Structure 1
Amino acid sequence: MALFDLPLDQLREYRSASVEPADFDAFWTKTLREAREHDLDARFDPVDTGLKTVQVHDVTFAGFGGHPVKGWLTVPTAVDGPLPTVVEFIGYGGGRALPHMHLLWASAGCAHFVMDTRGQGSAWGGGGTPDPVGSGPTYPGFMTRGVEDPETYYYRRLFTDGVRAVEAARAHPLTDASRTAAVGVSQGGGIAIAVGGLVPDLVAVAPDVPFLCDFPRATTATDRDPYREIGNYLKTHRGRTERVMQTLSYFDAVHFAARGRAPALFSAALEDQTCPPSTVFAAFNAWAHVDKEIEVYDFNDHEGGGPFQDAVKLRWLPARF
């Protein structure tokens, strides 16, 4: 795929047209307050994986609505002190998968907490967390579940789970709550941005080719799923565009980015049709903290930098810890 979005010099200046709801902060304050009315009840059960260099715990904690959410906590063996902690969120359709698939950050000397994604995990990387909340009619996928009201939208539950995942990771004695970072790719990157806007004391946020950014542009700039799910829903439910876009504005990563208080490392790919580069730059340009960088991969699609970006993060993140 050739370049299809704005030229790079324009991307660096691009600003989203997404309008922030007047009650954005009140909505999220209420949402998190209600979630915290449930005991976090973080449980860490040791797992015998056959791995010798790491210890793995099967995690369960209470997310949105007190619903049980799964995860893995992986730490290097023979550690005797609190460790810098990386909380990771998963891409669209995936789940926490198997522990041996998540060894990068523990190998770098960190505690690594990977959150399962409620209701997902059947497209790749199996998951174990159901979403017990129903919704009205939707287009197949997750993008339109409850999309006509911010109170019922799927990502209200998922972003809340993300905040609670940070709290659960910090509850373990081998993690250092004062040195916690959020990372993720694609949907995971969008969740990391949301968590970065909702948790004020993270030390770093590293979203790669993030999804869920700049909905007004994303839904019209690409016809590739998952954004296309929204267009297909509106193609059937004529006349509801304004209502749906109003709901999405409460979940647009651009608005969370404007509240980002930690150093950030983004990445974008200029041939990415899944998460168009202008939408990624919209969130990056809105990120509030002055210490921010973006890696640009000029001839890549949604795979972005892949392992090359991992190498960049391995150099960048320790300095923030």
Structure 2
Amino acid sequence: MPHFDLPIDQLRAYRPEVRVPAGFDTFWRQTLADARKAGGDPRFTPAETPLVGCHVLDVRFPGFAGDPIAGWLLLPPGDGPHPAVVQFLGYGAGRGLPHEYLPWVAAGYACFVMDSRGQGSTWGVGGATPDPHGSGPAANGVMTRGIEDPETYYYRRLFTDAVRAVDAVRRHPSVDAARVAVSGGSQGGGIALAAAGLSEDLMAVFVDVPFLCHFERAVGLTDREPYAEITRYLSVHRESAERVFDTLSYFDGVNLAALATAPALFSVALMDQTCPPSTVFAAFNAYAGPKEITVYAFNGHEGGAAAQWPRQVALLAGAARA
């Protein structure tokens, strides 16, 4: 697997012009206001698991349009209130099983895991959240569901769910609402960026090898899934490219990063052909808050894997004491 993208010195300076829709701020402000207006309270139900070192709650909280979204909340021992990390998932994954998320709890943090609506059947051990909203013709997967209009696009719903997940975890009495971080890799990294740009007063943001950034470059640079779903769609809907990329601009991590101000730790892999390095650096360089990035020169889409987590814990420990 070769280095195929820009050299590292050019990546560090890479600040491309991307489409910014004229109604971007209004679109998201209204979308989130409508979701909150739909009402509903999160429900936290004790879950039976073999785990004895933490308390596990099955969660249902209102997401986009008030739709019920599943999650897990794992609480460390003690009454709290505990700082919390909201974890977002990679493409095709569901919330899985609680024991998959023990590291944060072992480090003393509550961990809230958001299920990804309409996914959860590609890898892992499954999800529990349907997506009740239909769309027009789409390629296999979720990348092109409703892609001809930002109002109907799938990621409008998923990003709104993410912001409402932050709202929900702040409602639990064992969570310190002032000390909530968001985290994710690949699709989860793109969702974390969206949550960072659209939520207020986050403690920290962890963004690993993020998907959903600098769409026009990504689609033209890699033939890997899931970006290839967009390529496949446009190869059939030949007249739709302008509409499609206009829609995607509302959900581009580069635009959302420009709204985010919480301290952030990114990671990028220079041999990553799924989420090319230039697309990651485009979002990182646009990020408006304090930031740093870990570069893995000889890795693909696995990035730093478990090697990145201690860096995140160190940053979070400092943020939690601040």
Q: Does 1:55 align with 2:55?
A: yes
Name the CA distance, whole Å, in 2 between partners of 1:320 and 1:80.
21
Name the CA distance, whole Å, in 1 between partners of 2:103 and 2:35.
31
Cα deviation digits, residues 84-119 of structure 1 (max 9, x gap): 110010000001000111101111100100000000
Spell out the pairing of 1:167-206 with structure 2 (5 A cutoff). Answer: 167-206=167-206
The worse-fitting range, judged by mean Cα deviation, of 296-305 and 8-17 is: 8-17
Q: Does 1:122 align with 2:135?
A: no
Q: SS of the residue aligned with 1:56?
A: strand
Q: Does 1:320 align with 2:319?
A: yes
Name the CA distance, whole Å, in 1 between partners of 2:32 and 2:48.
34
Taking only the aligned residue pairs, the percentage that are identical comes to 61
Tell me the residue number matched to 2:226.
226
RMSD of aligned alpha carbons? 0.7
Name the CA distance, whole Å, in 2 between partners of 1:141 and 1:274.
15
Residue 184 of structure 1 deviates from its aligned partner by 0.3
Residue identity in the other structure for 2:45: D
Gaps of 5+ in 1: none
Name the CA distance, whole Å, in 1 between partners of 2:134 and 2:257.
29
Spell out the pairing of 1:82-231 with structure 2 (5 A cutoff). Answer: 82-125=81-124, 126-231=126-231
Name the CA distance, whole Å, in 1 between partners of 2:316 and 2:270.
24
Cα deviation digits, residues 2-31 of structure 1 (max 9, x gap): 100000000000013311111100000010
Tell me the residue number matched to 1:263.
263
Cα deviation digits, residues 50-94 of structure 1 (max 9, x gap): 1111110000011001110000000112x1220111001000000
Q: SS of the residue aligned with 1:95?
A: coil
Contact 1:17/1:216 (<8 A) preserved: no
Tell me the residue number matched to 1:69.
69
Q: SS of the residue aligned with 1:163?
A: helix
Tell me the residue number matched to 1:296.
295
Structure 1 runs of 4+ with >2 Å offset: none
Gaps of 5+ in 2: none
Name the CA distance, whole Å, in 2 between partners of 1:232 and 1:67.
30
Q: Does 1:80 align with 2:64?
A: no
Spell out the pairing of 1:245-260 with structure 2 (5 A cutoff). Answer: 245-260=245-260
The worse-fitting range, judged by mean Cα deviation, of 311-320 and 243-252 is: 311-320
Residue identity in the other structure for 1:105: W
TM-score, L = length of structure 2: 0.98
Name the CA distance, whole Å, in 2 between partners of 1:144 and 1:171.
33
Residue 196 of structure 1 deviates from its aligned partner by 0.3
Contact 1:150/1:247 (<8 A) preserved: yes
Residues matched between the structures, number: 319
Spell out the pairing of 1:238-249 with structure 2 (5 A cutoff). Answer: 238-249=238-249
Q: Does 1:311 align with 2:310?
A: yes
